[in-house]
Amino acid sequence: MQIKIVDLAIFARHGVYAPERADGQVFLVSAELELEGLGVRETSNEKRITNNVGLNQITNNKLQITNADGDCAAGREPSPIAVLPPHVASGDGAKPPPYAAETPSLLIHYSLFTIHSPTPHSSLLTPNPPPSAHNADALTSTVDYAEACRDISEFMTVNTFNLIETAADGIARLLLKKYGLLNAAQIEVKKPDAPIGMPLKYVSAVCRRARHTAFIGLGSNMGAREQNLSDALALIAARDDCTILKVSEFQNTAPYGKAGQPDFLNACAKISTVLTPWELLGALQGIERRLGRARAEHWGPRTLDVDILFYDDLILSEPALTVPHYDLHNRRFVLDALCGLEPFLLHPVFRMPVCALRDTLAKKQR
Protein backbone atom coordinates (compact mmCIF):
# COMPACT_ATOMS: atom_id res chain seq x y z
CA MET A 1 0.00 0.00 0.00
CA GLN A 2 1.31 3.45 -0.88
CA ILE A 3 0.15 6.97 -0.12
CA LYS A 4 1.29 9.81 -2.36
CA ILE A 5 1.42 13.49 -1.46
CA VAL A 6 2.23 15.55 -4.55
CA ASP A 7 3.68 19.08 -4.63
CA LEU A 8 2.67 20.33 -1.20
CA ALA A 9 3.43 24.05 -1.44
CA ILE A 10 5.31 25.44 1.57
CA PHE A 11 6.86 28.88 2.01
CA ALA A 12 10.20 28.41 3.76
CA ARG A 13 13.71 29.83 4.05
CA HIS A 14 16.25 27.27 2.85
CA GLY A 15 19.33 27.95 0.79
CA VAL A 16 23.05 28.58 0.81
CA TYR A 17 22.80 32.30 0.01
CA ALA A 18 21.71 34.96 2.50
CA PRO A 19 18.97 36.46 0.25
CA GLU A 20 17.32 33.03 -0.01
CA ARG A 21 17.09 32.82 3.75
CA ALA A 22 16.00 36.43 4.17
CA ASP A 23 13.35 36.54 1.44
CA GLY A 24 12.23 32.93 1.45
CA GLN A 25 10.47 31.15 -1.40
CA VAL A 26 7.90 28.44 -2.10
CA PHE A 27 9.10 24.84 -2.05
CA LEU A 28 7.10 21.90 -3.40
CA VAL A 29 7.32 18.73 -1.34
CA SER A 30 6.15 15.31 -2.55
CA ALA A 31 6.07 12.13 -0.47
CA GLU A 32 5.61 8.48 -1.35
CA LEU A 33 4.74 6.64 1.84
CA GLU A 34 4.93 2.84 1.79
CA LEU A 35 2.73 1.15 4.37
CA GLU A 36 3.09 -2.31 5.83
CA GLY A 37 -0.34 -3.21 4.48
CA LEU A 38 -3.87 -2.00 4.87
CA GLY A 39 -5.12 -3.01 8.30
CA VAL A 40 -1.89 -4.85 9.18
CA ARG A 41 0.21 -3.27 11.89
CA GLU A 42 3.23 -5.57 11.86
CA THR A 43 5.07 -7.51 9.21
CA SER A 44 5.35 -10.54 11.51
CA ASN A 45 3.77 -11.92 14.64
CA GLU A 46 6.36 -10.13 16.73
CA LYS A 47 5.05 -7.82 19.43
CA ARG A 48 6.56 -4.38 19.73
CA ILE A 49 6.68 -1.82 22.48
CA THR A 50 5.75 1.71 21.54
CA ASN A 51 5.37 4.84 23.60
CA ASN A 52 5.28 3.07 26.97
CA VAL A 53 7.30 5.74 28.73
CA GLY A 54 5.35 7.49 31.48
CA LEU A 55 6.38 10.51 33.52
CA ASN A 56 6.77 8.30 36.57
CA GLN A 57 9.36 6.25 34.68
CA ILE A 58 11.68 9.18 33.93
CA THR A 59 13.34 10.70 36.97
CA ASN A 60 16.60 12.56 37.44
CA ASN A 61 17.39 12.33 33.72
CA LYS A 62 17.46 8.54 33.93
CA LEU A 63 15.51 6.25 31.67
CA GLN A 64 15.64 2.70 32.98
CA ILE A 65 15.30 -0.25 30.63
CA THR A 66 15.02 -3.79 31.89
CA ASN A 67 15.60 -7.33 30.74
CA ALA A 68 12.20 -8.56 31.85
CA ASP A 69 11.95 -11.87 29.99
CA GLY A 70 14.47 -13.83 32.04
CA ASP A 71 13.54 -12.26 35.36
CA CYS A 72 9.81 -12.69 34.97
CA ALA A 73 10.28 -16.29 33.91
CA ALA A 74 12.16 -16.85 37.15
CA GLY A 75 9.47 -15.08 39.20
CA ARG A 76 11.64 -12.03 39.91
CA GLU A 77 10.94 -8.38 39.33
CA PRO A 78 12.71 -7.20 36.16
CA SER A 79 16.25 -6.06 36.82
CA PRO A 80 17.65 -2.98 35.08
CA ILE A 81 20.07 -3.63 32.24
CA ALA A 82 20.16 -0.23 30.56
CA VAL A 83 20.12 3.14 32.25
CA LEU A 84 20.79 6.46 30.55
CA PRO A 85 22.48 8.51 33.27
CA PRO A 86 23.55 12.15 32.91
CA HIS A 87 27.19 11.26 32.15
CA VAL A 88 26.19 9.50 28.92
CA ALA A 89 23.08 11.51 28.14
CA SER A 90 25.13 13.91 26.01
CA GLY A 91 27.78 13.36 23.40
CA ASP A 92 27.92 12.41 19.74
CA GLY A 93 26.65 8.90 20.33
CA ALA A 94 23.36 10.15 21.75
CA LYS A 95 22.78 13.38 19.82
CA PRO A 96 19.61 13.60 17.78
CA PRO A 97 19.77 15.32 14.38
CA PRO A 98 20.43 19.08 14.50
CA TYR A 99 16.81 19.92 13.85
CA ALA A 100 15.50 17.89 16.80
CA ALA A 101 15.91 20.71 19.29
CA GLU A 102 13.89 23.00 17.03
CA THR A 103 10.96 20.61 16.58
CA PRO A 104 10.67 18.62 19.81
CA SER A 105 6.96 18.04 19.39
CA LEU A 106 7.67 16.09 16.22
CA LEU A 107 10.80 14.22 17.04
CA ILE A 108 10.92 12.99 20.62
CA HIS A 109 8.96 9.77 20.08
CA TYR A 110 11.18 6.98 21.38
CA SER A 111 10.24 3.30 21.20
CA LEU A 112 12.07 1.16 23.74
CA PHE A 113 12.18 -2.61 24.14
CA THR A 114 11.12 -2.81 27.80
CA ILE A 115 10.43 -0.18 30.43
CA HIS A 116 11.12 -1.03 34.08
CA SER A 117 7.93 -2.24 35.67
CA PRO A 118 6.92 -4.91 38.18
CA THR A 119 4.30 -6.11 35.70
CA PRO A 120 5.13 -8.94 33.28
CA HIS A 121 7.05 -8.09 30.13
CA SER A 122 4.15 -9.08 27.88
CA SER A 123 1.83 -6.55 29.46
CA LEU A 124 4.02 -3.72 28.19
CA LEU A 125 3.95 -4.91 24.61
CA THR A 126 1.57 -3.75 21.93
CA PRO A 127 0.31 -6.97 20.33
CA ASN A 128 -1.25 -7.28 16.92
CA PRO A 129 -5.02 -6.91 17.21
CA PRO A 130 -6.90 -10.11 16.29
CA PRO A 131 -7.97 -10.22 12.65
CA SER A 132 -11.57 -9.50 13.60
CA ALA A 133 -10.48 -6.23 15.24
CA HIS A 134 -9.05 -4.82 12.02
CA ASN A 135 -11.14 -2.34 10.12
CA ALA A 136 -9.56 -1.75 6.73
CA ASP A 137 -11.64 1.39 6.28
CA ALA A 138 -10.59 3.00 9.57
CA LEU A 139 -8.16 5.89 9.79
CA THR A 140 -6.19 3.97 12.41
CA SER A 141 -5.36 1.38 9.73
CA THR A 142 -3.41 3.86 7.65
CA VAL A 143 -1.44 7.10 7.89
CA ASP A 144 -3.46 10.28 8.24
CA TYR A 145 -2.11 12.15 5.21
CA ALA A 146 -3.60 15.44 6.41
CA GLU A 147 -1.55 15.16 9.61
CA ALA A 148 1.51 14.08 7.58
CA CYS A 149 1.14 17.22 5.45
CA ARG A 150 1.03 19.35 8.58
CA ASP A 151 4.13 17.60 9.89
CA ILE A 152 6.00 18.24 6.64
CA SER A 153 4.93 21.87 6.57
CA GLU A 154 5.95 22.49 10.18
CA PHE A 155 9.30 20.80 9.63
CA MET A 156 10.05 22.91 6.56
CA THR A 157 9.04 26.21 8.18
CA VAL A 158 10.55 25.74 11.64
CA ASN A 159 13.95 24.64 10.34
CA THR A 160 16.42 26.32 8.01
CA PHE A 161 18.87 24.31 5.92
CA ASN A 162 21.52 25.16 3.38
CA LEU A 163 20.62 22.16 1.24
CA ILE A 164 17.27 20.80 0.13
CA GLU A 165 18.95 17.38 0.31
CA THR A 166 19.14 17.79 4.09
CA ALA A 167 15.52 18.88 4.24
CA ALA A 168 14.36 15.83 2.25
CA ASP A 169 16.31 13.45 4.47
CA GLY A 170 15.00 15.09 7.62
CA ILE A 171 11.39 14.75 6.48
CA ALA A 172 11.87 11.07 5.65
CA ARG A 173 13.39 10.39 9.08
CA LEU A 174 10.64 12.33 10.83
CA LEU A 175 7.78 10.50 9.14
CA LEU A 176 9.32 7.06 9.73
CA LYS A 177 9.85 7.87 13.38
CA LYS A 178 6.36 9.20 13.95
CA TYR A 179 4.27 6.75 11.93
CA GLY A 180 4.83 3.13 12.92
CA LEU A 181 2.83 1.81 9.96
CA LEU A 182 5.36 3.15 7.46
CA ASN A 183 7.95 0.82 5.97
CA ALA A 184 9.59 3.47 3.81
CA ALA A 185 9.30 7.11 2.84
CA GLN A 186 10.58 8.71 -0.34
CA ILE A 187 10.65 12.50 -0.22
CA GLU A 188 11.23 14.96 -3.05
CA VAL A 189 11.81 18.65 -2.31
CA LYS A 190 11.48 20.89 -5.36
CA LYS A 191 12.97 24.36 -5.53
CA PRO A 192 11.36 26.27 -8.43
CA ASP A 193 13.24 29.50 -7.73
CA ALA A 194 16.71 28.03 -7.40
CA PRO A 195 19.29 30.83 -7.95
CA ILE A 196 20.84 29.38 -11.08
CA GLY A 197 20.35 32.26 -13.53
CA MET A 198 19.06 30.01 -16.30
CA PRO A 199 15.52 29.08 -17.30
CA LEU A 200 14.34 25.86 -15.63
CA LYS A 201 11.17 24.41 -14.12
CA TYR A 202 12.73 23.45 -10.80
CA VAL A 203 15.65 21.74 -9.07
CA SER A 204 14.82 18.89 -6.72
CA ALA A 205 16.44 16.54 -4.24
CA VAL A 206 15.06 13.05 -3.61
CA CYS A 207 15.74 10.97 -0.51
CA ARG A 208 14.43 7.54 0.40
CA ARG A 209 14.64 6.03 3.87
CA ALA A 210 13.31 2.64 4.93
CA ARG A 211 13.14 0.53 8.06
CA HIS A 212 15.76 -2.19 8.35
CA THR A 213 16.27 -4.96 10.89
CA ALA A 214 19.78 -5.45 12.23
CA PHE A 215 21.30 -7.71 14.85
CA ILE A 216 24.28 -6.37 16.76
CA GLY A 217 26.75 -7.98 19.15
CA LEU A 218 28.10 -6.21 22.23
CA GLY A 219 31.05 -7.19 24.41
CA SER A 220 33.20 -5.75 27.18
CA ASN A 221 36.08 -7.07 29.32
CA MET A 222 37.42 -3.86 30.87
CA GLY A 223 36.07 -1.78 33.73
CA ALA A 224 32.45 -2.12 34.77
CA ARG A 225 31.48 -4.58 32.06
CA GLU A 226 27.76 -4.72 32.76
CA GLN A 227 27.52 -0.96 32.99
CA ASN A 228 29.40 -0.61 29.70
CA LEU A 229 26.87 -2.81 27.90
CA SER A 230 23.96 -1.12 29.64
CA ASP A 231 25.22 2.35 28.70
CA ALA A 232 25.74 1.26 25.09
CA LEU A 233 22.17 -0.06 24.88
CA ALA A 234 20.84 3.14 26.43
CA LEU A 235 22.70 5.29 23.92
CA ILE A 236 21.34 3.22 21.03
CA ALA A 237 17.81 3.46 22.43
CA ALA A 238 18.17 7.23 22.80
CA ARG A 239 18.94 7.73 19.13
CA ASP A 240 16.18 9.04 16.91
CA ASP A 241 17.05 6.62 14.10
CA CYS A 242 17.25 3.31 16.00
CA THR A 243 14.77 1.30 18.06
CA ILE A 244 15.77 -1.65 20.22
CA LEU A 245 13.35 -4.55 19.75
CA LYS A 246 14.95 -7.35 21.79
CA VAL A 247 18.04 -7.89 23.95
CA SER A 248 19.58 -11.22 24.87
CA GLU A 249 20.75 -12.18 28.33
CA PHE A 250 24.22 -10.97 29.32
CA GLN A 251 26.62 -13.93 29.37
CA ASN A 252 30.13 -14.29 30.72
CA THR A 253 32.51 -15.88 28.17
CA ALA A 254 36.18 -16.71 27.89
CA PRO A 255 38.17 -14.40 25.58
CA TYR A 256 37.97 -15.32 21.91
CA GLY A 257 40.98 -14.93 19.63
CA LYS A 258 43.56 -14.08 22.27
CA ALA A 259 44.02 -15.71 25.66
CA GLY A 260 45.59 -14.11 28.73
CA GLN A 261 42.99 -11.39 29.22
CA PRO A 262 39.88 -11.00 31.40
CA ASP A 263 36.64 -12.74 30.51
CA PHE A 264 34.10 -10.89 28.40
CA LEU A 265 30.50 -10.04 29.12
CA ASN A 266 28.57 -10.41 25.86
CA ALA A 267 25.08 -9.83 24.53
CA CYS A 268 23.18 -9.44 21.27
CA ALA A 269 20.36 -7.08 20.37
CA LYS A 270 17.80 -6.91 17.60
CA ILE A 271 17.17 -3.37 16.42
CA SER A 272 15.12 -1.52 13.84
CA THR A 273 16.91 1.32 12.10
CA VAL A 274 16.50 3.74 9.23
CA LEU A 275 20.26 4.03 8.87
CA THR A 276 22.24 2.50 6.03
CA PRO A 277 24.84 -0.13 6.99
CA TRP A 278 27.63 2.43 6.78
CA GLU A 279 25.69 4.97 8.83
CA LEU A 280 24.89 2.33 11.43
CA LEU A 281 28.56 1.37 11.62
CA GLY A 282 29.49 5.01 12.19
CA ALA A 283 26.82 5.40 14.88
CA LEU A 284 27.98 2.30 16.75
CA GLN A 285 31.64 3.30 16.54
CA GLY A 286 30.67 6.72 17.90
CA ILE A 287 29.07 5.01 20.90
CA GLU A 288 32.22 2.91 21.38
CA ARG A 289 34.33 6.07 21.45
CA ARG A 290 31.89 7.82 23.77
CA LEU A 291 32.28 4.99 26.25
CA GLY A 292 36.09 4.93 26.10
CA ARG A 293 36.90 2.40 23.37
CA ALA A 294 40.50 2.66 22.15
CA ARG A 295 41.54 0.44 19.23
CA ALA A 296 45.08 -0.11 20.47
CA GLU A 297 45.46 -3.87 20.06
CA HIS A 298 43.78 -6.35 17.71
CA TRP A 299 41.91 -9.00 19.73
CA GLY A 300 43.03 -7.14 22.86
CA PRO A 301 41.03 -6.05 25.92
CA ARG A 302 38.40 -3.41 25.29
CA THR A 303 35.92 -1.33 27.20
CA LEU A 304 33.27 -1.89 24.56
CA ASP A 305 32.98 -3.68 21.26
CA VAL A 306 29.82 -3.35 19.13
CA ASP A 307 29.57 -5.27 15.86
CA ILE A 308 26.93 -5.51 13.15
CA LEU A 309 26.05 -9.20 12.86
CA PHE A 310 23.18 -9.07 10.36
CA TYR A 311 21.50 -6.26 8.43
CA ASP A 312 18.31 -7.55 6.80
CA ASP A 313 19.52 -10.27 4.44
CA LEU A 314 22.32 -8.09 3.10
CA ILE A 315 25.60 -9.66 1.97
CA LEU A 316 28.39 -7.07 1.92
CA SER A 317 32.15 -7.47 1.82
CA GLU A 318 34.19 -4.29 2.07
CA PRO A 319 37.53 -3.58 3.79
CA ALA A 320 35.82 -1.70 6.63
CA LEU A 321 32.54 -3.61 6.85
CA THR A 322 31.52 -7.21 6.27
CA VAL A 323 27.88 -8.27 6.68
CA PRO A 324 26.99 -10.80 7.93
CA HIS A 325 29.84 -10.68 10.44
CA TYR A 326 32.62 -12.74 8.90
CA ASP A 327 33.22 -14.98 11.93
CA LEU A 328 29.94 -15.22 13.79
CA HIS A 329 29.43 -18.86 12.78
CA ASN A 330 32.57 -19.75 14.76
CA ARG A 331 31.59 -17.90 17.94
CA ARG A 332 29.44 -19.98 20.24
CA PHE A 333 28.59 -17.07 22.52
CA VAL A 334 27.22 -15.09 19.56
CA LEU A 335 25.16 -18.01 18.26
CA ASP A 336 23.81 -18.75 21.74
CA ALA A 337 22.65 -15.15 22.12
CA LEU A 338 21.12 -15.05 18.63
CA CYS A 339 19.27 -18.30 19.31
CA GLY A 340 17.81 -16.69 22.40
CA LEU A 341 16.49 -13.86 20.25
CA GLU A 342 15.51 -15.53 16.99
CA PRO A 343 16.65 -19.14 16.57
CA PHE A 344 15.40 -19.48 13.00
CA LEU A 345 17.08 -16.34 11.73
CA LEU A 346 18.53 -17.35 8.37
CA HIS A 347 22.20 -16.71 7.61
CA PRO A 348 22.09 -15.34 4.04
CA VAL A 349 25.47 -16.84 3.06
CA PHE A 350 25.20 -20.34 4.55
CA ARG A 351 21.41 -20.46 4.06
CA MET A 352 21.09 -22.04 7.49
CA PRO A 353 19.25 -20.80 10.58
CA VAL A 354 21.44 -19.71 13.48
CA CYS A 355 20.18 -22.61 15.60
CA ALA A 356 21.57 -25.05 13.00
CA LEU A 357 24.85 -23.14 12.87
CA ARG A 358 25.09 -23.42 16.65
CA ASP A 359 24.42 -27.17 16.56
CA THR A 360 27.05 -27.62 13.84
CA LEU A 361 29.62 -25.67 15.84
CA ALA A 362 28.78 -27.60 19.02
CA LYS A 363 29.48 -30.88 17.25
CA LYS A 364 32.85 -29.59 16.04
CA GLN A 365 33.80 -28.51 19.55
CA ARG A 366 33.05 -31.86 21.19
Residue burial 34-67, b: 16+ Cβ < 10 Å; e: rest? bbbeebbbeeeeeebbeebbeeeeeeeeebbbbb
Is 34 in contact with 183 (CB distance < 8 Å)?
yes
**43 CB-side CA count, 13 A:** 12
Distance CA 159, CA 174 (A): 13
Which of the residues are catalytic? Answer: 191
Please tell me the distance from the alpha carbon of residue 106 to that of residue 148, in angstroms, as a whole number: 11
155-158: Cβ within 8 A, 24+ apart: 155/99, 155/103, 155/106, 156/10, 156/12, 156/14, 156/27, 156/29, 157/10, 157/11, 157/12, 158/99, 158/102, 158/103
- E-strand spans in the chain? 2-12, 25-35, 58-59, 62-67, 79-83, 182-191, 203-210, 212-220, 242-247, 251-253, 264-273, 305-311, 316-317, 322-323, 346-347, 352-353
